[in-house]
Amino acid sequence: MGAAWAWAARQGVRIVVIGDPGTGKSSLVASVAKEEFPENVAPSCHPPASPSTHSGSPSSGDSRFDLRLDRLIGRRGLRLMAIKKPVILVGCKLDVTDDQQQASLEQLMASIMHTFREVDTYIECSALHQFQVPEVFCYAQKAVIHPAAPLIDHETQSLKPRCMTALNRIFILCDHDGDGALSDVELNKFQVRCFNTPLQPDEITGVKRFAYFVLYL
């Protein structure tokens, strides 16, 4: 992972934070830079002259949702999507969200991600409590360094043919005894080759359990 972040630094990976006024953008950026919540942050953008419409807002008056979906996705987000840039959605101010708002937000995000397959992921954070603030930017970097688009067909939600071919080739190379299954030893050799760290016995059991769940349940 260190090599990947070093590559990102050399290539000048840029992360653009966009959103409506008062949604926590400046606090998010300042928090990750200083590793603490800034008490006073100058706003980076100013409210529009005319009142904004709140259609699709789970909670009127909540600055986390002070936006219209067509403004969030159409005017800003789709500009990035149109030029094939990775997009992640971030819900700031998690500390001011109650259970009802949380349920509404999850439904809203599920709808957006279903409609716009270009959205890589969704994550919530709280700059005030320093909760998942670094993860926001790690996810953003990951979307650039390890993009899913070359691997997954977003329309069918399945692996692309070339990805399947590559995975089959990797499996054949790792299946040293040719029995059509990876033993614990073969799986561990693959793990060490990729990550330079062996799997623990309980981790191997977890991998097998997950594979069984995906294939047979």
How does pLDDT run across 154-177, given as a tens digit for each residue?
777 789 999 999 999 999 999 999
H/E element holding 2? Answer: helix 2-11
Describe the crossing of helices 161-174 and 184-195 by its angle, rounded to 10 degrees: 120
User: How much is the CA Rg of the chain, to the nearest whole Å?
Assistant: 21
% of the chain surpassing 90 pLDDT: 21
- In this prediction, residues 96-113 reach a mean pLDDT of 74
CB 145 within 8 A of CB 133: no
**pLDDT for residue 177:** 94
Asked if the model's pLDDT at residue 38 lies above 60, the reply is yes
- In this prediction, residues 106-116 reach a mean pLDDT of 75
SS percent in the chain: helix, strand, coil, step 5: 50, 10, 40
Q: Are strands 119-124 and 158-159 parallel, antiparallel or unpaired?
A: unpaired
**pLDDT for residue 44:** 64
Say how far apart CA 122 and CA 14 lie, in whole Å.
19
**Half-sphere exposure of residue 142: CA atoms within 13 angstroms, side-chain side:** 12
- In this prediction, residues 190-205 reach a mean pLDDT of 92
